[in-house]
Amino acid sequence: MTGPFSSELAAVRAGFRAIMADDNKQQYKEFGFWVIMKNKADKSGVDFYNTDVVDGGSGEVSMTLPHEMVRANCHTHPKRYSTGNFSTNDKNNFVMLRDKQHAMPFYLLTPWGQISVAREENDFPGGKDVPWS
């Protein structure tokens, strides 16, 4: 787990930057991680953390929902996903998590290095662009 970060988005960006820093392997494999929120020890607020990155190998990444306060699902799509959009499985997983637990944003690092987010079901497949800064 890495962090703490001051916001969900700061944790998302840091996680994607770490993946890209590893020789841009996200161009060929799919990776994923969760963003977790934890109360500060002094109860003065919250911090955000990334779980360890999961390597999907040559297929789609499969992540187990941790027993923590999960705030976001984050993953990459390699170049074989030519559209750069969220997949049908991404949307299905979003709906399943929303119906089973609670809605959470899905962040995607496209093959071209753009971050997209889907916060609602109708945001799929294109998502909305997220700036790097």
Which residue, 127, 38, 132, is CA-closest to 85? 127
Using DSSP's 3-state secondary structure scheme, residue 97 falls into helix
Q: What is the pLDDT of residue 60?
A: 86
Total residues found in the chain within this entry: 133
* Beta-strand relationship, 46-50 and 69-76: unpaired
Mean pLDDT of the chain: 93
pTM metric for this prediction? 0.95
Q: Tens digits of per-residue pLDDT, 61-91?
A: 999 999 999 999 999 999 887 678 999 999 9
* Residue 61 and residue 109 in contact, taking contact as beta carbons nearer than 8 Å: no
